[in-house]
Structure 1
Amino acid sequence: MSYARLIRPVIDRVYVSARWAARPRMEAFYADRGAGLGFEYSFFSGVLARPMPAEALADALVYTDGDMTAELAQGVVVIDEDGAWRLTERGRELALFAQRATAEAAAERWSSGPSMLPGLSSAPRLADLVGRVLEAGLATGGPAFRAMTPVYEPDDASPAMRLVTRLGALRHHRADAHRAAWRAAGLTVEQIRALPDGPQRQTIEAETDRLDEPAYAVLNVDERWELLAALGALPS
C-alpha cells in the first residue's frame, strides 16, 4: 500500500472529527446571523485567502448538485467578472468564525487524551510537516488544491488552527488525484459513484495513489512515519 493511501483515512479522521465537534457552535453563530453552513464553511482554508476559480469549485462540488443559490441569496459570496467565487464581508465573517471554531474544537479534543500521548503539544510539529507537504503539492495538485493552497492563516493563528487549516487543504490533493484518475478512465461522476470494488476500481485507486504520492516525497522516511503516527495518536 502506498503511503498516500495509508495516511489518507488518518487525515480524514482528524480533520472531520474537528469539524463535527465544532458544528454546534458554528450552527448557533450562523443562526444568529440568519445564515446556513455552506461554501465558506467547507473551504475556509483557501477562500479566506483568495477567490475560488469556477473550475476549482465545480471540481470540489462534483459529487453534489453544486447548487450555490443559498450562498448567493444570503450574500455570502459574489461572482467576479472572471467567474471566480469571492467572499463578501458577511461571508468573510462567517468563514473566519468557522476556521476559529474548528481550531478551538480541535484543541479541546486534542487536550482530552491520555496523558502518555502528546496530544495538543504535537500540533506545532505536525503543522510544520503538513505545511511542507502542501508546498510540495503545489507542483502536482489539481484545481481544487491550488485554490486552497497556500492556506489562509492569521498572524496569531494557534498551532491547532494551523494544523486543521492545512489538513483541510491537503485533503484536496488526493481528491483532485482521484477525479483525474476516474476521468482518465473515461468515467462520469455517476459511474464512479456506482462502480463496485473490482479490477477497474482497484486500477483507479492505484492511479490515485500515483498522483497523490509525490506531495509526500518532500518528507524523509522518518518524517513520514512521524506524521502518520502523531496524527493517528490525536484524540477524535
Structure 2
Amino acid sequence: MSYARVVRPAIDRVYVGARWAARPRMEAFYAERGCDLGAENSFFSGVLARPIPADALADGLVYTSGSMDAELKQGVVVRDDAGAWHLTELGRELASFAQRATGEAAEEKWAMLPGLLPGLTIVPRLAELVSRVLAHGQASGGPAFHAMSPPYEPDDASPALLLVTRLGSLRHHRADAHRAAWRAAGLTADGIRELPEGPERAAIEADTDRRDEPAYAALTEAERWELLAGLAALPN
C-alpha cells in the first residue's frame, strides 16, 4: 500500500477535527453578518491568496450542486470576465475569520494533552514537513491543488494555524488525483459515488495513489513516518 494512502486518514482526521471544533464560533461570526458558511469557508487557504479559476472551483465542488448562487447573493464573492472567483471585502473578512478560528480551535485542542504526550511541541515540525510536501506537489498537482497552494499564511500565524492551513491545501492534491483517476476510467461524479467495492474501484484507488504519491517524494522515509506518527498523536 502506498504511503499516500496510509497518511491520508491522519491528514483528514486532524484537519476535519479542527474544522468541526471551530464550527460553532464560525457560525456565530457569520450569523452576525447575515451570512451562511460557503465555499470561502471551505477553501480559505487558497481563496485568501488568489482568485480561484472557474475549473478549479468546479472540481472542488464536483460532489455538490456546484452552485455559487448563495455566495453571490450574500456578496461574499464576485466573478470576473474570465470566470475566476474573487473575494469581496466581506468575503475576505469571513474567510480570514474561518482561518483564524480553525487555527485557534486546533491550538486549544492540542494544548489539552498531558505533559508526557506530544501536543503543541511537535506542531512546528509537522507544519515544516507539510510545507515541503506542498512545494514538491506543485509538479504533480491538479487544478484545485494549484488554486489552493501555496496557501495564504498571515505574518502572525501560529504553528497551529500554519499546520491546519497547509493540511487544508494538501488535501486537494489527493482530491485532484482521485478525480483524474475516475475520469480516466470513464466515470462521472455520480458514477464514482455509486461504484461498489470491487476490482474497478480498487483500480481507481490504485491510480489515485500513483498520482498522489509524488508529492511525498520531498520527504525521506524517516520523515514520512515522522509525519504520520505526529499527525496520529494529535487529538481531534
Mapping of residues 136-215 of structure 1, within 5 Å: 136-215=136-215
For structure 2, the residue ranges without an aligned partner over 5 or more in a row are: none
* 1:68-119 superposed Cα distances (whole Å, 9 cap, x missing partner): 1110000000001110000000000000000000000000011112322221
Structure 2 residue 225 is the aligned partner of structure 1 residue 225: yes
SS of residue in 2 equivalent to 1:78: strand
Distance in structure 2 (CA, Å) of the matches to 1:231 and 1:93: 29
Distance in structure 2 (CA, Å) of the matches to 1:222 and 1:117: 20
Structure 2 residue 77 is the aligned partner of structure 1 residue 77: yes
Distance in structure 2 (CA, Å) of the matches to 1:146 and 1:79: 19
Distance in structure 2 (CA, Å) of the matches to 1:20 and 1:142: 27
Deviation at 1:121, TM superposition (A): 1.2
Distance in structure 2 (CA, Å) of the matches to 1:114 and 1:206: 39
Distance in structure 2 (CA, Å) of the matches to 1:40 and 1:29: 14
Name 1:68's counterpart in structure 2. Answer: 68
Name 2:216's counterpart in structure 1. Answer: 216
* 1:108-161 superposed Cα distances (whole Å, 9 cap, x missing partner): 011112322221111110000000000000000000000000100011111001
Name 1:105's counterpart in structure 2. Answer: 105
Show structure 1 runs of 4+ deviating over 4 A: none
Name 1:54's counterpart in structure 2. Answer: 54
Distance in structure 2 (CA, Å) of the matches to 1:179 and 1:117: 38
Aligned length: 236
Name 2:32's counterpart in structure 1. Answer: 32
Name 1:22's counterpart in structure 2. Answer: 22
Distance in structure 1 (CA, Å) of the matches to 2:215 and 2:209: 11
SS of residue in 1 equivalent to 2:14: helix
Which amino acid in structure 1 is aligned with residue 194 of structure 2? Answer: A
Distance in structure 2 (CA, Å) of the matches to 1:23 and 1:220: 35
SS of residue in 2 equivalent to 1:151: coil
Name 2:11's counterpart in structure 1. Answer: 11
Sequence identity, in percent? 74
* 1:180-202 superposed Cα distances (whole Å, 9 cap, x missing partner): 00000011111110000000000
Which amino acid in structure 1 is aligned with residue 151 of structure 2? Answer: V
For structure 1, the residue ranges without an aligned partner over 5 or more in a row are: none
SS of residue in 1 equivalent to 2:107: helix
Distance in structure 1 (CA, Å) of the matches to 2:231 and 2:163: 10
Which amino acid in structure 2 is aligned with residue 32 of structure 1? Answer: E
Distance in structure 1 (CA, Å) of the matches to 2:113 and 2:37: 29
Distance in structure 1 (CA, Å) of the matches to 2:116 and 2:204: 40
**Root-mean-square deviation (CA), in Å?**
0.5
SS of residue in 2 equivalent to 1:86: strand
Which TM-score applies when normalising by structure 1?
Answer: 0.99
Which amino acid in structure 2 is aligned with residue 102 of structure 1? Answer: T
